[in-house]
Amino acid sequence: MTKSGYIDAAFRSSRNNEAYFFMNDKYILLDYAPGTGNDKILYGPSLVRDGFRSLAHTIFGSYGIDCSFNTDNNEAFIFYENFCALIDYAPYSGNVKIISGPKKIADMFPFFKGTMFEKGVDAAFSIKNIIDGFMCFRGTIFENGIDAAFASHKTNEAYFFKGEYYARVTFTPGTTYDYIMDGVSALLTIGLLFAVACGHNLPAPTQ
């Protein structure tokens, strides 16, 4: 399921304008500075098993994370192939812990049993045609699939990723009034963060 060379997963941190990005068995913490172009790496690239030490001896520490989404407080669901876990990622504390799992997706989410999703999830998304929920994706690279996505800290905005491209979308929940802000763009910064920064780790963040 992991898409070598591109962002595999991302989730929004509980800290304002910060998000975690995953590629293969590495990750970074990014200040994505929505709408400004001033995004910067706060930490990483680092191995998942080093930054999330409770995952070191799990499938996620060995192979990485290929889907994720945040929930309440400092919690997030992470996936690799047909396994998933709920974690407390405890930003800036080093006290990451597993709340539930790792377990098979169908055991964590019984409603996926018997569906294609019990074998793996590429991105957390509703079960319907993408363009039915996001008409702005019609005719774009996102029409047939999304690699990763996360909700911005700005109300009713989200970031979507596919291969070497991304889009920042404004949406209105419960409607199809959504639009792509600034068009579909190449990953000039986020897409290079691993290629350029690997081997040049930044110091660990402080409180």
Residue numbers of the chain with a pLDDT score lower than 70: 1-5, 124-128, 188-207
Report the C-alpha gap between 195 and 39 in whole angstroms.
16
pLDDT score of 127: 45
pLDDT score of 45: 92
40-74 pLDDT, tens digit each = 999 989 999 999 999 999 999 999 999 999 888 89
Buried b (16+ CB within 10 A) or exposed e, 9-42: bbbbbeeebbbbbbbbbbbbbbbbebeeeebebb
Report which secondary-structure segment, H or E, holds 63: helix 59-63
pLDDT score of 188: 64
- Which domains, ranges and CATH numbers included, belong to the chain? 9-186 (2.110.10.10)
Report which secondary-structure segment, H or E, holds 61: helix 59-63
pLDDT score of 125: 44
pLDDT score of 207: 35
Instruction: From 175, 171, 124, select the one nearest 10 (Cα to Cα).
Output: 124
pLDDT score of 191: 47
